[in-house]
Chain A
Amino acid sequence: MVPPEYYLLLSSGLFCIGLFGILTRRNALYFLMSVELMLNAANINLVAFSLYWGNLTGQTFALFAIALAAAEVAVGIGIILALYRNFGDVDVMAAATMRW
């Protein structure tokens, strides 16, 4: 069995790549992708330790995390679409004047 440290390192790297994307990108689509990377980093940990401890709770929980990520992307893309229609761009900084 692969030692859990490798999984942790992989998920740490994935999380940091997602964080880098969030901090640097202004395109809302890249933003969403970066958030997905961070969520999947958590999923890697859940699945890895589920296997390590012989308990299925982690894998089942990872399924729910994937479902929540799908919901988030659905709403996110809807927001991006509305953003593009209203501001002509998907720059997350362009919506500074957005208000009710």
Chain B
Amino acid sequence: MTDDEPGSSSLRPGLAAVALFGVLAAVVLGSASGFGDPVQFPAGESIVHNIGYALFDIDLGGIPTEGFLAAFLIIAIALDVALDSAVYLAKREDDGTIISALTDGGREIVDGDVAGAADREVTGSTETDETEQGGDR
């Protein structure tokens, strides 16, 4: 597993993040009076119902919004594609190997072990244990 212990190497990114937050906070607080008076939703209107109407582009709601039917269908397709691609990435092939996506230069993986691990063991590489842990169990 990756050693993610925070150390001195995270000092600079931390300072950068804090600096960015400072800039954003200064901008937000500097423009505090620029938002105008709040409008808010009409009393008695159901927000959930109105979101449903907006999703299907139905003019029944009392809260102003836009139609999102096209976006709804596109997101449905995108979610379907994402599900299919996740399954594709995770599945094993019939012979027990995993799919070739994201392979390390085409190394063959057989029975949960990366081919070539023995070669690295001969050469005394310290990555052998990590590689063996990474089998497709």
Contacts and interface: CB of A to CB of B under 8 A. Distances in A.
Contact of B104 (A16, A72, A86): A86
Interface residues of A, number: 57
Given A24-B6, A89-B130, A55 B21 contact: no
Interface residues of B, number: 68
Contacts, number: 177
Given A16-B18, A17-B17, A91-B2, A59 B89 contact: no
B28 A60 contact: no
B82 A19 contact: no
Most chain A Cβ neighbours within 10 Å, of B28, B54, B102: B102
Given A74-B83, A82-B99, A90-B1, A59 B47 contact: yes
A77 B86 contact: yes
B82 A74 contact: yes
Contact of A68 (B68, B75, B136): B75
A75 B97 CA distance: 20
Given A9-B25, A90-B1, A24 B133 contact: no
A55 B50 CA distance: 10
A71 B17 contact: no
Interface in A11-66: 12-13, 15-17, 19-20, 23-28, 30, 51-57, 59-61, 63-64
Interface of B: 1-4, 6, 9-10, 13-14, 16-18, 20-21, 24-25, 28-29, 32, 35, 38-42, 47, 50-51, 54-55, 61, 63-66, 68, 71-72, 75, 78-79, 81-83, 85-90, 98-99, 101-105, 107, 109, 114, 127, 130-136
Given A74-B85, A82-B99, A87-B131, 19 more contacts: A5-B29, A5-B32, A12-B28, A13-B21, A16-B20, A24-B9, A53-B38, A54-B41, A54-B42, A56-B51, A67-B79, A70-B79, A71-B82, A78-B87, A78-B88, A81-B90, A85-B98, A85-B109, A86-B103
Interface of A: 1, 3-5, 8-9, 12-13, 15-17, 19-20, 23-28, 30, 51-57, 59-61, 63-64, 67-68, 70-72, 74-75, 77-79, 81-91, 95, 97-99
